[in-house]
Structure 1
Amino acid sequence: MLAKQVTVIALLRLWVLIYFSNLVGAAMFASLTTLVGPGLGVVSPEAYGHIARELVQHNGAVLLLSGILAGWLMGLLSWLVKATTDTISQIFIVWLVTSAIGLGHLPHCIL
């Protein structure tokens, strides 16, 4: 878009498609895990409620800002992986950035 190769409308259409696809994928994955987990006896249904409460109990501004930070880290991750040529380096960068997101308890969903 910055190089004038696509229009703003085309970019917005792509973003809407990706956002909708992520929501559908997340719903499908959540449905699968809520059926399979308790069915195998690996997790109790009450555990899902406990996990959800722990994730959303924070202030809305804190959740928004930490989500932005996690999104920025994921953008940084994609740039760093593209900049490296060695597969081992790419694996290490993915591990490093995603570990930072996980250890920081930053809310981010990647599908």
Structure 2
Amino acid sequence: MSHNETICVIDDDSSIRWVLDKALGNAGLQVEGFESADSALQAIGKQEPAVIITDIRMPGMDGMALLEHINSHYPDLPVIIMTAHSDLDSVVSAYKGGAFEYLPKPFDV
């Protein structure tokens, strides 16, 4: 499997994907957006990104299940968790699950 410097953004909200694509793209970073964890995992299996930014609450596989999968299959791949539904339990779960960072929405880009 090859590795590149792409940032993988996973969120079922297209406006969040768009904003992060524009903000990170304007900073000179390459972004690939996905509306589901399943579609992202297919792409990650072909080409590992530099980092993953994922929402927690999504249809199908949620961000916490994705975090667990990534940590077991790609232990050196940093995962940033973001959510609009932040509470202490989700913060603790994310960090205990191996999240690199936790971002409550909304956040400044």
TM-score, normalised via structure 1 length: 0.27
Q: Which has the larger radius of gyration?
A: 1
